[in-house]
Structure 1
Amino acid sequence: MMTRKLPIIAVATAQGKAGVGVVRISGQNLQPIASSLFQKKLSPRQANLLTLCDEHGEAIDQLIAIYFAGPASFTGEDVLELQCHGGPQLLELVIKRCLELGKNEGLVIAEPGEFTLRAYLNNKIDLTQAEAIADLIDAQSEAAVRGAARSLQGAFSDDINNLIEEITQLRILVESTLDFPEEEIEFLENAQARQRLAAVKEKLQALRAGAKQGKILRDGIQLVLAGAPNVGKSSLLNRLAGEEVAIVTPIAGTTRDRVKESIAVDGVPMHIIDTAGLRETSDIVEAKGIERSWDAIRLADMVIFLTDAQVGNQEDALKAQILKELPPKCAVLEVVNKADLLPESPKLPSDQALLISAKTGVGIDRLKQKILEIVGWDGPQEGTILARRRHLDCIERAAEHIEKSEQFAANGNNSLELFAEELSLAQKHLGEITGKLLPDDLLGKIFSQFCIGK
């Protein structure tokens, strides 16, 4: 995938029936393929109403063909776009006919993400913009759509590149001083290196904060409802989802497998998992569900530990067991349910615990806001971009090296080599975000997650 130069073809629109389906071809020189398909030379950027015929001369479809001559195209190569009627079987026939007539030119089915990969390799977009295409397709809220669109337009890349440029200028000053050790110049004072380094650190902190918000907006929150049987986990899921997605009965052990539902709160996707009640059981099916519940807890971003207001604080052992199984930095929110069954508010297990009624809806809005508060969501803001885990990791590693460079800067000219090295490492990690310094195997992994036709 990373090296092949053959022309590629795929359906660029989603699966299923539609009024229009688009077939896209990309390659170094597509005029021979276009001529074979329609027996005419296509002029660039002109829509042509044409008929594609099979090997017997019978019409397959009347379609619109548009030819884009490289490098003025999405991929930077020649691109032929066929806008057909959107029947799945019809599109298969169009693909089959194109492969037959493009056999001599080596036309092959595209791999996942190969069109966008070629756009990246041909310098039409950088890696963050390429990832933004997939994020735009997968966006689950209006805020996520707008954030992905800003990344696609280059807002995130500009922030990264501007920061890299500032580090580059600082490195030039440091390494120039290393080249002329005989010059007794107090570099750090004359070049205002400390002030420039402080400015870089401040911008990097702002970038990290924005990336954290962007990751929440892109990935959402993996929220697990955990607790003993019959505390109201399924009722809470139904209340949050706004519909009956889980079965609710007074019988303990009704939920025997994970039930997952996605909602959006203030534009943030929440992937809520209702788990089987955690208890000792001899029922094989229920035990399997409880095992899956523990698996879900171990992968959670946040766990809501639900208790019954009528029972009181009798589940400390279960809570302690859940805390042992949690991944690093996973938050736990204690929620006391069934407030509607008590004449007055019970004593809560902690100051952070919330009292709700999944049945009546009391406290649900506060619960949603508390979830967002705990995960660090500051609300939709102007200029928010989407970010991935790898982006955040790169920014955090760069920040660590900037922190170290500050320590060496404090030693004056005695530690300039180490100062320069830390700046170089910070620059390297930031360059990985836009793909300037990324190995091919990681590139292949990133683009393999795209859908075919993109």
Structure 2
Amino acid sequence: MNFAYTPSTICAVATAPGRGGVGVVRISGRGLLPLAHAISNGKTPKPRYATYTDFYDADGSAIDNGLLLYFPGPNSFTGEDVIELQGHGGPVVLKMLLQRCVALGARLAEPGEFTKRAFLNDKLDLAQAESVADLIDAASESAAKSALKSLKGAFSGEIHKLVDELITLRMLVEATLDFPEEDIDFLQKADAVGRLHRLRDQLVKVQTTAKQGALLREGMHVVLIGQPNVGKSSLMNALAGDDIAIVTDIAGTTRDTVREEIVIDGVPVHIIDTAGLRDTDDVVEKIGIERTWQAIERADVALLLVDSRDGIVPEVQTILGQLPERLPRVHVFNKADLSGDKVGRSEEDGHPVVRLSARTHDGVDALKALLLEMIGYSGDSEGVFLARERHLDAIARAEAHLTQAAHDWQQVEIFAEELRMTQNALSEITGRFTPDDLLGVIFSRFCIGK
């Protein structure tokens, strides 16, 4: 069967790599019924119904059998015609199906290209499109639920409300530019400043929720540091609830960074157990110590472990003096079961202190609670939508422009410009004014077939 396709027809395996019971090949483009006919040997699929069929190669031999689903555009995920071939999940079979689709005029999709088309065809805004990848990558139930809220438009809805209020305020301000002799009185009568302050209050609430969502998405990076044999690996195992790191009484057992991800109250926590910091002639241990300092530079919080029987000895003071000033740290006095110290939280010399026993796990819950407090997590993910760093940046810029607008409201031209910049910053979140190069970066991080 001969037919022509537009160059925009794309195809990809939409299921995870490897073997599985079911494998899905997804196709998107315009006028895909001829492809459906060719691959099913003349069958015409009913829109949005599953058609059981063999999938045929060019020579008429069957490649596989399964279900063919046809979603005519614009009522599809991408807004174009979409076909899904649901067959058996073997890598060879899926590769053969892909080759057949390419032979029929499709091309292999780029990472994230299906979702990008959904965005470009106004099926999703940019925040919703990003939440597709976030839902796939969610590291906890809370993150998954929040990602779904964003996908359903919760985050976008809040941004749209702010933009609508901005547009109303901008209309008032722009109207005064035609009558400069009356502009200030007009703005005062229209309560422009009051509107501005209420708008800023709404923005701050969205910013707070977005920060909580960013924590659920990104998590926090915690690095365990200290001298050898103070219990870093034992604490990592206690936090993880499993024997991740090797524990011995031999100093220098951990010679490289060991990473583990746990979840505390819905927040992903990336824990890095490091080589003990000390002077050594061991070449391998030196490399581990160098990597320790690299991990420290990237961390959100440092847990400095100390043997509670020894306290903060001069060698520990040296480590403290070398830590970056911007890095929050917690002094963790371990081995309370041996020293007899009372477990729990306190504060000494302006730094939070936790006394615990990594071996018995006494006091570990207090440390977990402290870590969440240090990153500002409220512990309530209800109503939280997932957010990214670029969202927080856009909101921060919008807040800065609103603050400047409040300061310069009597200079109408400046006032109007600050409001315009505020709207542009917020519109970057949903993609109204997002540069094409940023779109390329965002969608290139998606998996192929999504």
- Alignment match, 1:11: 13
**3-state secondary structure, aligned to 1:262:** strand
Deviation at residue 230 of structure 1 after TM alignment: 1.1
CA distance in 1, matches of 2:40, 2:132: 31
1:368-383 equivalence runs, <5 A: 368-383=368-383
Structure 2 residue 321 is matched with structure 1 residue 320: yes
CA distance in 1, matches of 2:381, 2:241: 26
- Alignment match, 2:45: 42
1:407–1:5 CA distance, 2 compared to 1 (3 A): farther
In the TM superposition, what whole-angstrom CA distance separates every residue of 1:229-285 from its partner, at most 9, and x where no partner exists?
111110000111111110111111110111111111111111111011111211111
- Alignment match, 2:54: 51
- Alignment match, 2:365: 365
Structure 2 residue 177 is matched with structure 1 residue 172: no
In the TM superposition, what whole-angstrom CA distance separates every residue of 1:7-26 from its partner, at most 9, and x where no partner exists?
10001111222221111000
Structure 1-normalised TM-score?
A: 0.94
Deviation at residue 348 of structure 1 after TM alignment: 7.4
Aligned 8 A contact 2:53 2:65 in 1: yes
1:272-283 equivalence runs, <5 A: 272-283=271-282
CA distance in 2, matches of 1:239, 1:345: 18
**3-state secondary structure, aligned to 1:24:** strand
Aligned 8 A contact 1:143 1:380 in 2: no
CA distance in 2, matches of 1:119, 1:423: 30
Structure 2-normalised TM-score?
A: 0.94
Aligned 8 A contact 1:143 1:217 in 2: yes
1:248-397 equivalence runs, <5 A: 248-314=247-313, 315-324=316-325, 328=326, 330-345=327-342, 349-350=348-349, 352-397=352-397
- Alignment match, 1:32: 34
**3-state secondary structure, aligned to 2:324:** helix
Deviation at residue 182 of structure 1 after TM alignment: 3.6
- Alignment match, 1:148: 147
Q: What is the percent sequence identity of the aligned residues?
A: 51
Structure 1 segments of 4+ aligned residues over 3 angstroms from their partners: 182-185, 343-351
In the TM superposition, what whole-angstrom CA distance separates every residue of 1:98-127 from its partner, at most 9, and x where no partner exists?
222x1xx3x111000000000000000000
- Alignment match, 1:205: 204
- Alignment match, 1:451: 447
CA distance in 2, matches of 1:230, 1:145: 38
Say which of 415, 421, 424 aligns to 1:428: 424
In the TM superposition, what whole-angstrom CA distance separates every residue of 1:158-200 from its partner, at most 9, and x where no partner exists?
1001101111111110111011124466023200011101110
Deviation at residue 46 of structure 1 after TM alignment: 2.2
Aligned 8 A contact 1:336 1:354 in 2: yes
CA distance in 1, matches of 2:60, 2:139: 45
Aligned 8 A contact 2:13 2:24 in 1: yes
- Alignment match, 2:111: 112
CA distance in 1, matches of 2:184, 2:230: 71
CA distance in 1, matches of 2:295, 2:117: 37
CA distance in 2, matches of 1:225, 1:298: 12
1:344–1:451 CA distance, 2 compared to 1 (3 A): closer
Aligned 8 A contact 1:336 1:348 in 2: no
- Alignment match, 2:228: 229
Structure 2 residue 245 is matched with structure 1 residue 246: yes
Deviation at residue 383 of structure 1 after TM alignment: 0.9
- Alignment match, 2:3: none
CA distance in 1, matches of 2:123, 2:347: 57
Aligned 8 A contact 1:313 1:349 in 2: no
Aligned 8 A contact 2:51 2:68 in 1: yes
- Alignment match, 1:88: 91
Aligned 8 A contact 2:401 2:421 in 1: yes
Deviation at residue 89 of structure 1 after TM alignment: 1.9
Aligned 8 A contact 1:12 1:452 in 2: yes
Aligned 8 A contact 1:348 1:355 in 2: no
Superposition RMSD on alpha carbons, in Å?
1.6
Tell me which moved more, 52-61 or 425-434.
Answer: 52-61
Deviation at residue 345 of structure 1 after TM alignment: 4.7
**3-state secondary structure, aligned to 1:245:** coil
1:161–1:200 CA distance, 2 compared to 1 (3 A): same
Aligned 8 A contact 1:222 1:301 in 2: yes
CA distance in 2, matches of 1:235, 1:95: 49
**3-state secondary structure, aligned to 1:26:** strand
